[in-house]
Amino acid sequence: MLVIRRDLVEAVVEHARRDHPDEACGVIAGPERDRPERFVPMLNAARSPTFYEFESGDLLRLYREMDANDEVPSVIYHSHTATEAYPSRTDVSYAGEPDAHYVLVSTREPDSHEFRSYRIVDGQITEEPVTVVESYESSPGE
């Protein structure tokens, strides 16, 4: 299950809307896998409605920053702008963080959005429920 703060969900959806019809992408870093805290929108180097890619220099800087902060990529998100919020074959083939929550947002409808989360491990997609909260109750590790 993904438990995520409302302001983070709103930030992801806003980013997806802003970049529509191109795909938007980014991460939410946190001290542990189940604690998404720091919203990090990334530039889609592909600037494409059907593909996204973190630029390689940005990717290195992001991982160095997370290392320095003792963070992990809790959520890796991107948008689908004309199809449903379900991982494509391309998404699965690139999924390189077995511990992350892969969030997909669909912006195909102008007035409503889908916000769904998956684990992708060894090519297997498992959808997980998303619980939106106002704030996290306990400190990490409690």
Partner 1 sequence: MAITVSIPTILRTHTGGEKSVEASGATLAEVIDSLESNHGGLKARLVKDGTLHRFVNIYVNDEDVRFAGGLEAKVADGDNVTILPAVAGGSR
Residue 25: CB atoms within 10 A of its CB come to 23
Find the shortest distance in angstroms from Cβ 25 to partner 1.
Answer: 7
Nearest 10 degrees: Cα torsion 93, 119, 75, 112: 90
Which of the stretches 3-11, 87-95, 111-119, 124-132 binds partner 1 when contact is defined by CB under 8 A? 87-95
Cα diameter, the chain = 41
Find the shortest distance in angstroms from Cβ 133 to partner 1.
Answer: 26
3-state secondary structure of 105: strand
CB 105 within 8 A of CB 75: no
Residue with Cβ nearer partner 1 (8 or 25): 25
Find the shortest distance in angstroms from Cβ 50 to partner 1.
Answer: 4
Paired tokens of 85: 């919020």
Chain residues in the site for partner 1 (CB under 8 A) = 23, 25, 27, 42, 46, 48-54, 56-57, 59-60, 63, 76, 78, 80-83, 87-88, 90-91, 93-99
